[in-house]
Amino acid sequence: MRASALLASAIVVLLSGAELAFADCQTVSASDVAQDIQNCPSANNALKNNACNFGGAAIAESGGNSCASNGNNFGVLQLTRSNLANTGYSPSQYLNLSPQQQVCIWAQQVGNSNTSGAYQTLSNGGSINGAPVTAGMLAACFQFGPLICKNDLAFMQANGGACPTAGKAGVRATGQTLSSGSANLDGNNQSICSWGQSIQNKINQAAATCSGSNGSGTNCPGGVSAPGGVIPPSPGNAPVSLPANLA
């Protein structure tokens, strides 16, 4: 009886760990992620021009751990399970890829779509009704996707630059609110302002590694001395290689 219980426990442990079996976890810096974005053939200009900001976002999302996962998001840039399903990699396979490979898959899967719409509006405007557009806000916009970003942007324009919150006009993302187009907070009740601030803090912390020696391709907003500030309008942010959509 005892032996069978032990065997059952062992099987449970093996099964539960099978999906996320880690072999080669790596911890990378914001600068490393920025460089990986620059090196990636599938990353578009919008990503490359904000590579360091996404490096900061990676630290906010995963701590830079290539094996980071909450069961639904995976890797240094927390690619969603939904997007991962399209790549042919299982979660454990993906987590065992190098950070460079993870970043390239992330860029290919979500780079074009999430840099469309409101992302472009944000990246080309220094402020929204008085509220500065930060690199962290832009990264949060990217991670949430065009719908929530667009709704947050509209809310800010109508409410003196303030974002919705769970207690004030916030609509959490669910199947219904996404379908109706009303969602303005992500599944964790974060707006581009609140989550943007979290990312911004990480970008600021990562400033030293981002602005230093490697130089090539990292792009800390505000220059070397003041990374993570307001994003100036940049032609490089505007043109995004979007897929051809039919009329």
Partner 1 sequence: MPKRRRLSSPLIRALRCLARPLASLRQMEGRCSRAHQLPFRWRFAPLMPAPAGASRVALAKPAKEFFVSAALTLAMLVPLATNAQQAISHRLTAQSFSLTDSNLQARIWSDQVPEMLRFRKYLQSTPGGADKPLVGVVYTTSFEAGGKQIVVSVISNNCANAGGVPDLLFCPARVASLSAGKLEVLAGIPDLLVTVSEADAPQSSARKATIVTYDPQAHQISFANVDGSERTELPQKVVVR
Which residues here bind partner 1, judged by CB under 8 A?
41-42, 72-73, 80-83, 85-88, 93, 96-98, 101, 104-105, 108-110, 112-114, 116, 142-148, 173-176, 178-181, 183, 185-188, 243-247
CA angle 169, 175, 177 (to 5 degrees): 25
Report, in angstroms and rounded to the nearest whole number, the Rg of the chain calculated over CA atoms.
Answer: 19
Instruction: Give the nearer residue to partner 1 in terms of CB position, either 30 or 84.
Output: 84
C-alpha distances in Å from residue 77, one per residue of 8, 62, 125: 35, 7, 25
Least Å distance between CB 9 and partner 1? 28
Least Å distance between CB 93 and partner 1? 8
Among 177, 140, 184, 134, which residue's Cα sits nearest to residue 158? 184
Instruction: Give the nearer residue to partner 1 in terms of CB position, either 87 or 214.
Output: 87
Least Å distance between CB 88 and partner 1? 5
Instruction: Give the nearer residue to partner 1 in terms of CB position, either 142 or 210.
Output: 142
Instruction: Give the nearer residue to partner 1 in terms of CB position, either 170 or 228.
Output: 170
Tokens of 23: 């072999």
Where does residue 16 rank: exposed (0-12), middle (13-18), buried (19+ CB within 10 A)? exposed
Instruction: Give the nearer residue to partner 1 in terms of CB position, either 127 or 188.
Output: 188
Q: What is the DSSP letter of 65?
A: B
Least Å distance between CB 120 and partner 1? 13
Least Å distance between CB 143 and partner 1? 6
Least Å distance between CB 127 and partner 1? 24
Instruction: Spell out a b/e string for 43-75, using b for 16 or more CB atoms within 10 Å of the CB, else e.
Output: bbbbbbbbbbbbbbbbbbbbebbbbbbeeebbb
Instruction: Give the nearer residue to partner 1 in terms of CB position, either 29 or 190.
Output: 190
Strands 79-80 and 73-74: antiparallel
